[in-house]
C-alpha cells in the first residue's frame, strides 16, 4: 500500500554471507524482499502459494519456500540463495553436476532445486534415489521429467 | 521447392553432448528471465478478472481505482484501437485480431472465468492489486457451457456473439461450432461392411495445462515518440511483436521486443496476454515502464490450455491382421474463442497406420473455458489416445501381437496420411522393431506385491514437426572464435544445438562459439520455438550461414595466396591450395588485408519438416484398495533423425513422457457447475513430482531426415503423445477393465472395479 500503509519493518539479516539492513513493508514476502529490495533475482517466482519450490532458499540452514516467509521474519537470520552457492574457486559440485547431467532445460526451477538439493546433501552425505526423490518432491520441474535432476544429485554425491 | 540431402554420417561435433553456453548463467541465478526485468522508474500493473464463466458486461466503474493514491492508469477494452477482422500467424496457430483483442481484454462479454475485464498501473505491485479489485463491474450472468455435448446441444446459448460457423462449407448461424471439416478417402461404410471385426468407441478427456513453472509476465515502455519496447516471457519475440502490432494497430518497426529467458512454454507461450496491456498502461502512464506478472490461478484459468473433448473412433480389421478402414469424429474444445488444435489432431490421428480407406471429421467447439492454445504436439495426444485405445482392443480381441500388428499396418515412405499428404522417408517401422527387440519388451512384467496388480501397455504416435522461418548470423572474430546470433528462444539448450551445426561445417570447436539471441531489431525474422522446429530450422539457417562463410573465406584465402578461389579446398577446418594450408581459426587473424571482418547471414523458410514417430512401453502397478497407480518401468523409443546433442534430445523425450503420464493419470481441469476451475493451484492440479516417477529409459532410433543435411528431425513434441494410451492400456491389463476417459485417476479405477 502507499500513503496509508502500515510502517515498514527494520530488518537486519545476512544474505549469502553479506549483512543487509532493510526497511521491509510488513506484507512483503522474503521472495520479494530478495528480488525487489536486494535485487537478487536468482530465486524465482512460480506460484506464490508454496506449491512449486521455485522460490526455495535456506534460512538458518532450513529449506523454505520464500514466498511463504515474510521479509520481516528473517531479522537476525542467515539466508542463503542460489547466488551464494558458487565460490571464487568455482561452481558448487551440484551446479557442475546439473550442467554435466543436463538437469535443466528451461532452467526456471533450477535455483530452487539446487538450494533444496544442497539442503539435503549438507545433512545426509549419501542419500538413496528414493530419498532424493522424496526430498525433492516439493520442487516442481515441468521440463525434465526429473530423471536427469536425480542423476545430477547422485553425481554430486560421488 | 524442397531441398533433399544425402546425409553425412561422420561427425566431429554433432552427436557429442557439450555443456550449454547459457548453462553457468542458469545454475548461478544470473540468467535474466521475464520476471527479473528491471527498468528505472518501473511501476506495476495488475488486472481485474471475471468471476463468472459466461456473462454480459453491463457496466464498468473505474472511478474508485482512478481516485486511489499511487494509481497512474486504468484500462478497459474501450482503450484498445479498432482492429480489423483479420487473422495473423502466431507461430503455432493463428490469431484473429478482433477476437484476440477481446481475449486479452473482454469487450461486451466474458467468455470464461478469469477473463480480463480491466487493468491498472500503480506505484507498486500491492497497490496495483488493491486498485484493480476496486473496479466495479456489473454482469448479467449467463449459463456456463462446460463441455462439447452442452455446446453442441440444440438451443445451447451462443458463446461468441455473431459467430457464423463453417460446417463443411455451409454457413451456420447461432452455433458454438466454429468449424466442421472432413478428410475422406474411399467409402468407409463399404469397407466396414467387408471387415471381419469392427470396433467403435467414444473416448473423452479433460482440458489440461502445459504447467510451465514460470508464470506469464510482461514489461513495456511506450516512449513519447511512440517507440514501444517490450520484455515478455515468450517462445518467440517476433510472435510477440506481430501480435502486439496487430492488436494495438502499431507499426512493427516501432516495436522492439527484447529477448529474455523463458521458464517453460510447451506451446502456451506463443500467445500474448499481458504484453498489449503493459504497453497500453505504459502509454496511459506517460511512458513509465509497466510490469505485470500473472498469478498462478490465472495462469490456469485464463491462459491457453490443451483442449479436452470427445473422440468417436471406429476401426474395421480383417482376421489376417490388416486394417480395412477407420473413421473418426474429433470434437475438441476451442475454449471461449474459436481455434482448437483439432486441425492438427486430424493430421495426426491416423498417421501411424497405412489405411486404404479413412474418414476424419473435425469439430472446433466453443465452451466457456479459457481459449485453448498449443500444448506440445497440439491435438495429437488426444487423437493418439483414441486410436491406440481401439487398436489395443482389436489386438486383444483377435489375439494379435501388439507390435507385429502395428508393423503389419505401419505407415512408411509413400503412405498417404489421413489428410492426403504422402510421407517421405519416416522411421515408424524402425521404432517398432526397436521396441520389439528392447530389453523392456522382452522382460517379464514381474510380480506385484500383495494387494497390487501390474500391467503393460504400448502405444505409438506421430507429430508432423514444423519448419518455417529462421535467421542466423555468424561473425568470425580475429582470435578465431565465432559470435553467432540467432532468433530462436532457447528453452532447452538450442543455443548449443544450433551452434553445433555451424561448428560442424566450420571445423571450429563449439566451445569457441558464443551464441546469443538478440532483440527483434538485431536479428532477422525467426518464428517461435514451437512445432519441434528450432534445432531443425534455425539449425539449418546456421548450417547455411556457415556454408556461406566458407565460400567467403575461400575467396579471402585466394586473395592471400594470390590464386583463384576455385583452387581453394576446405575440409575439417583447414583451407588448402597448391600445397599451402591454413586452419580456419589461424586464418581469422589474417583477414585485414583481404577486406576485414568475415561475416555471413542466412535466413530460411522451410515448407516441410520431416516427421516424428514415437513408440512407448509402460509398466505400472495399481493398488487395488486405493486405485493409486505407480509407473514402475518406462521406455520411450523415438526416431530422432540425428541426435545433434544426444543428452538434450533424451531430456526432451523424458520430459515429454512425464507430461504425458501426468495427462494420463492425474491432470485435469475439474470444472464446477458454474463453470469455474476448482483445482486452480499446483497443489490441486496434481502434476507429477520427482516422487511419482521412475527413471525414464530412452531408445533413440536414427532414420535421417532427408530434408536436413545432418538428418535432423524435430523431437520435442511427439514424446508427450503415447503415454496417454500406453498408461491406460497398462491399467486395463492390470485390472481387466478398459478406460475411455482421461485421466485414469484412482477414483475411476476404483469405480471400474466395483462395476
Ligand atoms: S513461488 Fe514459492 S513455492 Fe512457488
Ligand atoms: S527445467 Fe524447466 S521447469 Fe525444470
Pocket test for ligand 2, best of A54, A113, A141 (most atoms within 8 A of CB): A141
- Residue B467: helix, strand or coil by DSSP? coil
Which of B23, B690, B693, B717 to substitute to test the interface with A, most A CBs within 10 Å? B690
A140 lines ligand 1 (CB under 6 A): no
Question: For residues B253 and B228, what is the distance between their CA atoms, to the nearest angstrom?
Answer: 9
Cα(A141) to centroid of ligand 2, in Å?
5
What DSSP assignment string belongs to B152-196? Answer: HSTTPPPSSTT--EEETTEEE-S-SEEEEEEEEES-HHHHHHT-S
Ranges under pLDDT 50 in chain B: 1
Alpha-carbon distance A151 to nearest alpha carbon in chain B (angstroms): 9
Tell me the three cell numbers of residue B363.
469439430
Question: For residues B721 and B705, what is the distance between their CA atoms, to the nearest angstrom?
Answer: 21
B634 to chain A: which residues are within 8 Å by CB? none
Alpha-carbon distance A91 to nearest alpha carbon in chain B (angstroms): 8
Chain B residue with CA closest to A52: the answer is: B682
Alpha-carbon distance B210 to nearest alpha carbon in chain A (angstroms): 8
Note the ligand closest to the C-alpha atom of B261: 2
Between B211, B212, B696, which is nearest A145 by CB?
B696
Question: For residues B90 and B79, what is the distance between their CA atoms, to the nearest angstrom?
Answer: 23
- Whether residue B29 and residue A45 make contact (CB cut-off 8 A), yes or no, is no
Which of B17, B21, B26 to substitute to test the interface with A, most A CBs within 10 Å? B26
Query: What sign has the CA pseudo-torsion A83, A85, A87, A93?
Result: negative
Question: For residues B569 and B576, what is the distance between their CA atoms, to the nearest angstrom?
Answer: 5
Give the C-alpha distances (Å, rounded to integers) separating B135 from A21, B116, B131, B139, B423: 37, 12, 7, 13, 56
Tell me the three cell numbers of residue B705.
531426415
Question: For residues A69 and B153, what is the distance between their CA atoms, to the nearest angstrom?
Answer: 49
- Whether residue B213 and residue A52 make contact (CB cut-off 8 A), yes or no, is yes
What DSSP assignment string belongs to B679-717? Answer: T-STTTS----TTT----EEEEE----TTSTT-----SS
Nearest-10 crossing angle of helices B237-248, B275-284: 50
Pairing, β B513-516 against β B741-742: unpaired
Alpha-carbon distance A140 to nearest alpha carbon in chain B (angstroms): 6
Alpha-carbon distance B26 to nearest alpha carbon in chain A (angstroms): 6
Beta-carbon contacts below 8 Å between A and B: 195
Strand order across the beta sheet in which A78-80 lies? A18-24, A9-15, A78-80, A56-59, A62-65
Are B77 and B106 within 8 A, CB to CB? Answer: yes
Chain B residue with CA closest to A42: the answer is: B29
Query: What sign has the CA pseudo-torsion A149, A154, A156, A157?
Result: positive
Q: Which of residues 622-651 of B touch A (CB under 8 A)?
A: 647-648, 650-651
What DSSP assignment string belongs to B626-640? Answer: T--EEEEEEEEEEE-
For the stretch B434-486, pLDDT in tens is 999 999 999 999 999 999 999 999 999 999 999 999 999 999 999 999 999 99
Domains B23-31+466-606 and B404-465+610-754 share a fold: yes
Q: Does A3 touch chain B (CB under 8 A)?
A: yes
Note the ligand closest to the C-alpha atom of B213: 2
Pocket test for ligand 2, best of A52, A54, A99, A104 (most atoms within 8 A of CB): A104
A105 lines ligand 2 (CB under 6 A): yes
- Mean residue pLDDT of chain A comes to 96
Are A153 and A94 within 8 A, CB to CB? Answer: yes
What does the domain layout of chain B look like in residue ranges? 23-31+466-606, 404-465+610-754
Measured at the CA of B405, the angle between CA B403 and CA B408, to 5 degrees, comes to 110
Question: For residues A65 and A44, what is the distance between their CA atoms, to the nearest angstrom?
Answer: 10
A140 lines ligand 2 (CB under 6 A): no
Question: For residues B208 and B267, what is the distance between their CA atoms, to the nearest angstrom?
Answer: 13
Residue keyed to cell 546439473: A98
Q: How many CB atoms lie within 10 A of CB B420?
A: 10
Query: What sign has the CA pseudo-torsion B571, B577, B578, B582?
Result: negative
Are B713 and B373 within 8 A, CB to CB? Answer: no
Question: Can you give the pLDDT at residue B720?
Answer: 98
Q: Which of B713, B439, B734 is nearest to B726 (CA)?
A: B734
Helical H segments across B507-629, by residue range = 539-561, 584-588
**Residue B495 half-sphere exposure, CB side, CA atoms within 13 Å?**
22
Measured at the CA of B385, the angle between CA B379 and CA B388, to 5 degrees, comes to 125
The DSSP 8-state label assigned to residue A109 in this structure reads: S
Tell me the three cell numbers of residue B642.
540425428
For the stretch A4-19, pLDDT in tens is 467 999 999 999 999 9
- What is the enclosing helix (H) or strand (E) of B342? helix B342-348
CA B172 from centroid of its chain's CA atoms: 31
Question: Can you give the pLDDT at residue A5?
Answer: 60
Residues 6 or more apart whose Cβ sits within 8 Å of residue B84: B97, B98
Query: Is it the case that residue A2 has pLDDT exceeding 70?
Result: no
Question: Can you give the pLDDT at residue B1?
Answer: 42
Are B96 and B87 within 8 A, CB to CB? Answer: yes
Between A46, A111, A143, which is nearest B29 by CB?
A111
Question: Can you give the pLDDT at residue A158?
Answer: 81
Residues forming a β-bridge with B75: B119
Tell me the three cell numbers of residue B2.
524442397
Please, what is the end-to-end C-alpha distance for chain B in angstroms? Answer: 58
Question: Can you give the pLDDT at residue B526?
Answer: 97
Q: Which of B204, B615, B200 is nearest to B382 (CA)?
A: B204
Question: Can you give the pLDDT at residue B505?
Answer: 98
Q: How many CB atoms lie within 10 A of CB B97?
A: 19
Give the C-alpha distances (Å, rounded to integers) separating A147 from A102, A122, B375: 10, 22, 22
CATH code for the structural domain at B23-31+466-606: 3.30.365.10
Nearest-10 crossing angle of helices A93-100, A147-157: 140
A45 lines ligand 1 (CB under 6 A): yes
Cα(A146) to centroid of ligand 2, in Å?
9
**Beta strand residue intervals within B226-366, DSSP E:** 228-232, 255-258, 290-293, 309-317, 323-335, 357-366
Q: Which domains does chain A have, with CATH numbers?
A: 2-84 (3.10.20.30), 93-157 (1.10.150.120)
The DSSP 8-state label assigned to residue B34 in this structure reads: G
Cα(B663) to centroid of ligand 2, in Å?
18
For the stretch B635-655, pLDDT in tens is 999 999 999 999 999 999 999
CA B563 from centroid of its chain's CA atoms: 51
- What is the enclosing helix (H) or strand (E) of B725? helix B722-735
Nearest-10 crossing angle of helices B722-735, B746-754: 40
Question: Can you give the pLDDT at residue B90?
Answer: 73
Q: Which of A46, A107, A53, A52 is nearest to B294 (CA)?
A: A46
Q: Which CATH fold topology does B404-465+610-754 show?
A: Aldehyde Oxidoreductase; domain 4 (3.30.365)
Left if phi > 0, otherwise alpha if psi is -120 to 50, otherwise beta: which for B628? beta
Give the 3-state secondary structure percentages of chain A, helix then strand then coil, rounded to 5: 40, 20, 40
Question: Can you give the pLDDT at residue B518?
Answer: 98
Amino acid at each position: 500500500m502507499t500513503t496509508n500503509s502500515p510502517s515498514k519493518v527494520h530488518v537486519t539479516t545476512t544474505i549469502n554471507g553479506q549483512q543487509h539492513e532493510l526497511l521491509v513493508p510488513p506484507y512483503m514476502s522474503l521472495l520479494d524482499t530478495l528480488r525487489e529490495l536486494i535485487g537478487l533475482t536468482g530465486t524465482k517466482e512460480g506460484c506464490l502459494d508454496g506449491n512449486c519450490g521455485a522460490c526455495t532458499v535456506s534460512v538458518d540452514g532450513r529449506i523454505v519456500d520464500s514466498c511463504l516467509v515474510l521479509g520481516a521474519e528473517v531479522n537476525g537470520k542467515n539466508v542463503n540463495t542460489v547466488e551464494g552457492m558458487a565460490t571464487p574457486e568455482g561452481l558448487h559440485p551440484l551446479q557442475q553436476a546439473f550442467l554435466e547431467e543436463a538437469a535443466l532445460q528451461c532452467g526456471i526451477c533450477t535455483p530452487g532445486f539446487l538450494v533444496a538439493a544442497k539442503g539435503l546433501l549438507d545433512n545426509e552425505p549419501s542419500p538413496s534415489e528414493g530419498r532424493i526423490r522424496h526430498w525433492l518432491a516439493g520442487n516442481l520441474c515441468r521440463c525434465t521429467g526429473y530423471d536427469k535432476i536425480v542423476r545430477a544429485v547422485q553425481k554430486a554425491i560421488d | 521447392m524442397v531441398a533433399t540431402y544425402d546425409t553425412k554420417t561422420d561427425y566431429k561435433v554433432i552427436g557429442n553432448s557439450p555443456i550449454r553456453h547459457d548453462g553457468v548463467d542458469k545454475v548461478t541465478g544470473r540468467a535474466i528471465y521475464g520476471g527479473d526485468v528491471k527498468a528505472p522508474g518501473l511501476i506495476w500493473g495488475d488486472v481485474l478478472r471475471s468471476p463468472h464463466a459466461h456473462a454480459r458486461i453491463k457496466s464498468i466503474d473505474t472511478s474508485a481505482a482512478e481516485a486511489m493514491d499511487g494509481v497512474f492508469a486504468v484500462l478497459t477494452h474501450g482503450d484498445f484501437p479498432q482492429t480489423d477482422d483479420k487473422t495473423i500467424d502466431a507461430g503455432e496457430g493463428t490469431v484473429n485480431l478482433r477476437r484476440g483483442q477481446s481475449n486479452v481484454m473482454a469487450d461486451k462479454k466474458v467468455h470464461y472465468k478469469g477473463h480480463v475485464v480491466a487493468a491498472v498501473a500503480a506505484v507498486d505491485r500491492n497497490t496495483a492489486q488493491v486498485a484493480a479489485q476496486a473496479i466495479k463491474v456489473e454482469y448479467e450472468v449467463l449459463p456456463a457451457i462446460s463441455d462439447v455435448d452442452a455446446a453442441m446441444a440444440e438451443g445451447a446459448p451462443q458463446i461468441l456473439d455473431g459467430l457464423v460457423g463453417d460446417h463443411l462449407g455451409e454457413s451456420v448461424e447461432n452455433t458454438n461450432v466454429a468449424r466442421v471439416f472432413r478428410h475422406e478417402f474411399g467409402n468407409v461404410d463399404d469397407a466396414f461392411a467387408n471387415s471381419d471385426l469392427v470396433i467403435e468407441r467414444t473416448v473423452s478427456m479433460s482440458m489440461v495445462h502445459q504447467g510451465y513453472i514460470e508464470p506469464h509476465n510482461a514489461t513495456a515502455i511506450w516512449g513519447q515518440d511512440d517507440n514501444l519496447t517490450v520484455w515478455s516471457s515468450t517462445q518467440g519475440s517476433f510472435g510477440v511483436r506481430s501480435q502486439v502490432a496487430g492488436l494495438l494497430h502499431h507499426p512493427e518497426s516501432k516495436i522492439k521486443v527484447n529477448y529474455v529467458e523463458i521458464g517453460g512454454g510447451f506451446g502456451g507461450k506463443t500467445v500474448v496476454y499481458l504484453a498489449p496491456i503493459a504497453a497500453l498502461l505504459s502509454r496511459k502512464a506517460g511512458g513509465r515502464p509497466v510490469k505485470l506478472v500473472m498469478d498462478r490461478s490465472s495462469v490456469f484459468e485464463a491462459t491457453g490450455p490443451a483442449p479436452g473433448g470427445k473422440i468417436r473412433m471406429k476401426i474395421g480389421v480383417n482376421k489376417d491382421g490388416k486394417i480395412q478402414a477407420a473413421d473418426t469424429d474429433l470434437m475438441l474444445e476451442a475454449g471461449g474463442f474459436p481455434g482448437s488444435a483439432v486441425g492438427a489432431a486430424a493430421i495426426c490421428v491416423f498417421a501411424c497406420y497405412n489405411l486404404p480407406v479413412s474418414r476424419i471429421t473435425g469439430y472446433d467447439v466453443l465452451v466457456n473455458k479459457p481459449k485453448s492454445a498449443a500444448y506440445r504436439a497440439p491435438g495429437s495426444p488426444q487423437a493418439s489416445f483414441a486410436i491406440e485405445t481401439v487398436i489395443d482392443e482389436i489386438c486383444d480381441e483377435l489375439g494379435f501381437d501388439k507390435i507385429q500388428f502395428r508393423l503389419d499396418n505401419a505407415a512408411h515412405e509413400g503412405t498417404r496420411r489421413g489428410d492426403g499428404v504422402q510421407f517421405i522417408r519416416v522411421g515408424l517401422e524402425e521404432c517398432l522393431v526397436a521396441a520389439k527387440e528392447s530389453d523392456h519388451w522382452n522382460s517379464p512384467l514381474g510380480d506385484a506385491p500383495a494387494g497390487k496388480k501390474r500391467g503393460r501397455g504400448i502405444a505409438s504416435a506421430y507429430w508432423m514437426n514444423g519448419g518455417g522461418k529462421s535467421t542466423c548470423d555468424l561473425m568470425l572474430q580475429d582470435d578465431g572464435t565465432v559470435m553467432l546470433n540467432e532468433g530462436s528462444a532457447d528453452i532447452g539448450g538450442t543455443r548449443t544445438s544450433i551452434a553445433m551445426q555451424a561448428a560442424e561445417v566450420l571445423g571450429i570447436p563449439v566451445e569457441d562459439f558464443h551464441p546469443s539471441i538478440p532483440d527483434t531489431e538485431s536479428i532477422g525474422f525467426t518464428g517461435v520455438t514451437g512445432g519441434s522446429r528450432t534445432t531443425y530450422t534455425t539449425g539449418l539457417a546456421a548450417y547455411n550461414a556457415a556454408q556461406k562463410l566458407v565460400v567467403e573465406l575461400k575467396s579471402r584465402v585466394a586473395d592471400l595466396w594470390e590464386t583463384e578461389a576455385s583452387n581453394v579446398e576446405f575440409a575439417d577446418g583447414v583451407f588448402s591450395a597448391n600445397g599451402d594450408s591454413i586452419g580456419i581459426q589461424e586464418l581469422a587473424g589474417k583477414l585485414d588485408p583481404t577486406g576485414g571482418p568475415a561475416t555471413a547471414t542466412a535466413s530460411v523458410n522451410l515448407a516441410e519438416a520431416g516427421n516424428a514417430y514415437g513408440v512407448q512401453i509402460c509398466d505400472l502397478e495399481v493398488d487395488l484398495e486405493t486405485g493409486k497407480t505407480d509407473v514402475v518401468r518406462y521406455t520411450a523409443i523415438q526416431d530422432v533423425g540425428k541426435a545433434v546433442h544426444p543428452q538434450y534430445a533424451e531430456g526432451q523425450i523424458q520430459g515429454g513422457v512425464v507430461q504425458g503420464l501426468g495427462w494420463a493419470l492425474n491432470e485435469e481441469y475439474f470444472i464446477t457447475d458454474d463453470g469455474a476451475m476448482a483445482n486452480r493451484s499446483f497443489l490441486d492440479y496434481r502434476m507429477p513430482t520427482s516422487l511419482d516417477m521412475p527413471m525414464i529409459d530412452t531408445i533413440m532410433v536414427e532414420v535421417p531426415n532427408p530434408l536436413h543435411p545432418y538428418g535432423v528431425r524435430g523431437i520435442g513434441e511427439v514424446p508427450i503423445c503415447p503415454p496417454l494410451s500406453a498408461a491406460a492400456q497398462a491399467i486395463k491389463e492390470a485390472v481387466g477393465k478398459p478406460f475411455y476417459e482421461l485421466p485414469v485417476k484412482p477414483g475411476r479405477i476404483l469405480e471400474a472395479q466395483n462395476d
